[in-house]
Amino acid sequence: MYQANSDRYNEMQYRRCGTSGLKLSALSLGLWHNFGDVDTFANYQKIICKAFDLGITHFDLANNYGPPPGSAESNFGKILQQDLKSYRDELIISTKAGYDMWPGPYGDWGSRKYVLASLDQSLKRMQLDYVDIFYSHRPDPETPLEETMGALDYAVRSGKALYAGISNYPADLAARAADILKKMGTPCLIHQPKYSMFERWAENGLLDVVEEKGMGCIAFSPLAQGLLTNKYLKEIPENSRAHKAHGALQTGQITPEIISKINALNEMAKERNQSLAQMAIVWLLKDERVTSVLIGASSADQLVDNVRSLGNMNFDRIELEHIEAILN
């Protein structure tokens, strides 16, 4: 029987999510990879329990996480029932709808039909009465924004979600979505963009919108699918994501110029007594508008190593200038 670490809240930092009353752990665990039916149950069970032991309270999912789609939610639900059921009120559990999930015209994008049916399916898979945060996973160019936001508003009013969020929305649509939800009486709690040293579109107005609208921000893919680790200092390892035919990271993205940048950043991380991954994580948290950083993990040891990044969160002006010089 799992018993949570009694000191779990002593070391983790918790940051307020925008202007809301909710705080998130500075690091959150994302279940995008490594938690599907193709993975080993005992391993990801250990990762999830270790995360909670380290003070990580936020677990981030989506309807299509796996593979196969839906299996990450089902597996997380099993672990909730076996190990974390008595701690439910200490957990922030989020899920999303917006990407292809089932055949036909009602299994994708942002219609009210799809969004709310997907939420019901997610709750069933996780064996939950409600999720803490429910996201529109991406904007739908063919559905009125009012309809998608109306579905999020209904999810909150029906008690199936406590908060509403958006993900992958550009700055202009994020601002509109926040305004629509505010008028409905369900503020937009949080935005989840892809954000890392190598992926900085959030800096082109989105972080300003987040601040202006009182939203929190949680960054996903902080390590650029593994590029910002020591895996790619010399060559592409055979067991890496870049070697997978349909992975999020492709070999063509790993150019000599990128490898040169990775090595330069790695040398700087060494000077800070950090790994490259650790430095990349806390580089995002230097901005107070970033509430939390979503980290993935393939092992409990990797998770522990990433959490250790919080031991050195400060950057001086020279370090920040050096990072920009490397990236540019």
**In this structure, how many other beta carbons lie within 10 angstroms of the beta carbon of residue 105?**
9
In a domain, 270, yes or no: no
In a domain, 199, yes or no: yes
Split into its structural domains, the chain has a count of 1
Q: What is the pLDDT of residue 243?
A: 46
CB 281 within 8 A of CB 266: no
Q: What is the pLDDT of residue 231?
A: 86
| Residue 84, domain CATH | 3.20.20.100
In a domain, 149, yes or no: yes
In a domain, 245, yes or no: no
**Domain enclosing residue 206, as ranges:** 14-227+282-312
Residues 271-319 pLDDT 10s: 999 999 999 999 999 999 999 999 999 999 999 999 999 999 999 999 9
CB 94 within 8 A of CB 134: yes
209's CB contacts (< 8 A; 6+ apart) are 171, 174, 175, 178, 191, 215
In a domain, 324, yes or no: no
Q: Is 315 helix (H, G, I), strand (E, B) or coil?
A: coil
In a domain, 1, yes or no: no
Residues 39-86 pLDDT 10s: 999 999 999 999 999 999 999 999 999 999 999 999 999 999 999 999
In DSSP notation, 152-219 reads: HHHHHHTTSEEEEEEES--HHHHHHHHHHHHHHT--EEEEE-B-BTTB-GGGTTHHHHHHHHT-EEEE
Q: Which helix (DSSP H) or strand (DSSP E) does residue 48 occupy?
A: helix 41-53
Q: Is 24 helix (H, G, I), strand (E, B) or coil?
A: strand
The arithmetic mean of pLDDT across residues 214-220, rounded, is: 98
Residues 104-163 pLDDT 10s: 999 999 999 999 999 999 999 999 999 999 999 999 999 999 999 999 999 999 999 999
In a domain, 96, yes or no: yes
Q: What is the pLDDT of residue 254?
A: 83
Enumerate the β-bridge partners of residue 96: 135
Burial of 79 (0-12, 13-18, 19+ CB in 10 A): buried
In a domain, 327, yes or no: no
> What is the Cα–Cα distance from 271 to 160, expressed in whole angstroms?
47
Q: Is 15 helix (H, G, I), strand (E, B) or coil?
A: strand
